[in-house]
Amino acid sequence: MSAYGAAVVVDRAPGSRDVAPVDPGDLAIVQRVLAPLEETPRFWLVLFAICALGTALGLFAVGYTLWLGIGAWGNNIPVAWAFDIVNFVWWIGIGHAGTFISAFLLLLNQPWRAAFNRMAEAMTLFAVAIAGAFPLLHLGRPWFFYWLMPYPATMGVWPNFKSALPWDAAAVGTYFLVSVMFFYLGLIPDLATSRDRLTGRTRRRVYGVFALGWSGTSSQWRRHRAALKIIAGIAAALVVSVHSIVSFDFAIAQLSGWHSTILPPYFVLGAIYSGFAMVLALAIPVRGWYGMQTIITIDHLERLAKLLLTVCLLLTYCYTAEFSTAAYSNDPLEHATYFAHWPAGPFGWLFWTMLVLNVVVPQVLWFRRYRRNLNVLAGVAIGVLVGMWLERFIIIVSSLAQGALPSTWHGFVPTWVDWGILVGSLSFFGLCFLLFLRFVPAASMGELRRHRIEKIYDGWP
Amino acid sequence: MKVLAEFATPDAALHALAAVKSLGYLDVATHAPFPLTTEEAHAPHGSLPLALLAGGAGLTGVAAGYVVQWWANVASYPLNIGGRPFHAAAAFVPATFETLCLLATAGVFLGFLLFERLPRLWQPEFEIEGFERSSVDRFWVVLNAGKTTVEQVTRDLVPLNPLRIVVSEGDA
């Protein structure tokens, strides 16, 4: 008899709670995913300390910027946008792969996404939150950031919606909130398993509150799946719109190098490219450290490598289209930007490095041997991350430094504050990701187990 | 009266689910750590209310987003920048699209919680000893017995080989 008036009328296996599970392979997934939630390994502490140190440096640089103003950066006129906007575009681009893996692959019924969709979604959250901080800092007076929102102020001053800045605010804000809802909704069943499986009263209580009382009924699973699919459909459209809107910041300006209709698809592809690279760069070490080789298999990484190569080719097409459009335009300014200032200007060496890292190096992924070699894969991924950062640097700084009026030309040298904020943002990302790995189930157990069952029993209903 | 039967494997639970349905029990559900049936795993049916909610919320988002922009830049504070029109429909598209996505997603998210009556941190089943394994490695079939007697339901369930049969009084 229990507290609410239930009676056990048949008990075939008294004390059955201690009996070993019937299907150990199935339970192994739960054990593997939940193990990191119960211990703090040494490498975690070391990495956490490093990231905390870097974050402290970043916070100091941000504080210095708030104190002195953005004169603390290397920005000047005409290079009014530099590291701040480069970092913004780069970080928000990295976020896109998380949504791509979660949403597109869910809609396309690709079960292998379950191995790293949670990790990629977490990456999205942190990357978008970090990205959003850069334009706010660049406002100069970030404490007035809420002026970007249309709220009924006594001053009666509204944002100008014909400017790209409020579009950005709407896009990044929406993207962050939608990502949070998508991430959390997918997480609820795993939080319930954590609530029921982990030891320790406090731990179970905290996970219990966040699990919202999930009990895995047939209705809950069905509606959960339906809700995820609908949100995935929305997120798939949203993710394309976000980087398109980011590209409008450039495309609606008059500057040659920015003023181009190819920018929206080009930016979206670049975003997905750097994001896939970040997923690889994170998944490869994490699976090793946490012994998750059975969950994130080499086949999964190989598929991701193929996607990376596909996006690489698409992006190469965009580069070609961009340059041939410039050539075809017969506009002397376009010619100067694309054929003199970018490849042979003061940042020409960065331009060529960018092309090597983004276009040439990833071609090794044509070979199966290298797609399945973790060192090569991680190297290519980190190369692409650097290359994509450089691409944004070339587009922004190289175009601004040598504009239409040669008498205004000016170089750009980043200050320690610029570097400090960049290092700080990377460290803060690492810090958030480490906390995620420590406290949140890093893979969707329900989905992994369902796929295992479907694989083992052919024709499972 | 609600009767709950615990099983050790998903196939046993699925078999029992089909069996009790064929015996004429109408109100049957499961508790499982992962989606048991194809319908649960891929949800081809039963998503219409959520989809309608997404559509309704999304259209509200479109209206709200556009009206706010129109109000701000045309009615309340018209700003002449280089002679551009105050009512610039094309320029209002990006933010309108974002409010569409935001409200549609929020609608689905809140709709899921509303339809499933969550959060409900305590549920009567949680009082059953060992029920927490239903999210780890145990599978429960729950049926509403209506006016059928406990003896009859037990007789129906025992051949399906459950680990335990639990009966709760009331509509818990």
Give the pLDDT confidence of B29-86 residue by residue, as tens digits: 999 999 998 888 887 777 899 999 999 999 999 999 999 999 999 999 898 888 889 9
Asked which of A10-24, A347-361, A405-419 is least confident by mean pLDDT, the reply is A10-24
pLDDT score for A16 = 52
Q: Is A121 on the interface with B (CB under 8 A)?
A: no
Q: Which fold has domain A22-448?
A: Formate dehydrogenase/DMSO reductase fold (1.20.1630)
User: How far apart are the CA of A120 and the nearest CA of chain B, in angstroms?
Assistant: 19
pLDDT for B100 = 97
Q: What average pLDDT does range A282-311 have in this prediction?
A: 92
pLDDT digits (tens, 9 = 90+) for A339-351: 999 999 999 999 9
Compute the mean pLDDT over every residue in chain A, rounded to the nearest whole number.
91
Per-residue confidence (pLDDT) for residue A455, from 0 to 100: 83
> Which B residues, 111 through 170, put their C-beta within 8 Å of a C-beta on chain A?
111-113, 115-116, 118-130, 132-137, 142, 150, 154, 157-158, 161-170
Cα–Cα dist A301/A285, whole Å: 12
Inter-chain residue contact B127 with A2, CB threshold 8 Å: yes
Is the Cα dihedral A191, A194, A196, A199 positive or negative?
Answer: negative
pLDDT higher at A399 or A19: A399
Per-residue pLDDT at B10 exceeds 50: yes
Report pLDDT for B172.
42
The interface predicted TM-score (ipTM) is: 0.94
Determine whether the interchain pair A230/B51 forms a contact, defined as Cβ–Cβ distance below 8 Å.
Answer: yes
The predicted pLDDT at position B150 comes to 86
pLDDT for the residue B121: 92
CB spacing of B111 vs A447 below 8 angstroms: no
Residue among B38, B98, B158 whose CB faces A170 most closely = B98
* Mean pLDDT for the stretch of residues A63-74: 95
Which residues of chain A neighbour B104 with C-beta distances below 8 Å?
A: 234
Instruction: Give the model's pLDDT for residue A19.
Output: 54
Q: What number is the average pLDDT over the span B90-109? A: 96
Q: Which residues of B touch A167 (CB under 8 A)?
A: 94-95, 98
pLDDT at A452: 87
pLDDT band at A273 (very low <50, low <70, confident <90, very high): very high
Does the pLDDT value for residue A235 go beyond 50?
yes
Please indicate whether, in this complex, the C-beta atoms of B113 and A212 are within 8 angstroms of each other: yes
What are the extents of the domains in chain A? 22-448
**Region A106-115 average pLDDT:** 85
Q: Name the pLDDT band for A3 (thresholds 50, 70, 90).
A: very low
Task: Extract long-range pairs of A16-21: CB within 8 Å, 24+ residues apart.
Answer: A16/B130, A16/B163, A16/B164, A17/B129, A17/B130, A17/B133, A19/B8, A21/B8, A21/B137
Of B77, B142, B150, the CB nearest to A157: B77
Look at A16 and B154 and tell me if their CB atoms are within 8 Å: no
pLDDT digits (tens, 9 = 90+) for A357-382: 999 999 999 999 999 999 999 999 99
Position A14 pLDDT exceeds 70: no
pLDDT in tens, A308-317: 999 999 999 9
A181 touches chain B (CB under 8 A): yes
Cβ contact A449–B106 (<8 Å): no
pLDDT at A1: 43
With an 8 Å Cβ cutoff, are A223 and B9 in contact?
no
pLDDT of the residue at A183:
96
Mutate to test the interface with B, among A183, A221, A449 (most CBs of B within 10 A): A221
Q: Radius of gyration over alpha carbons of chain B, in Å?
A: 25
Residue A380 Cα to chain centre, angstroms: 18
Q: Report whether pLDDT(A108) > 50.
A: yes
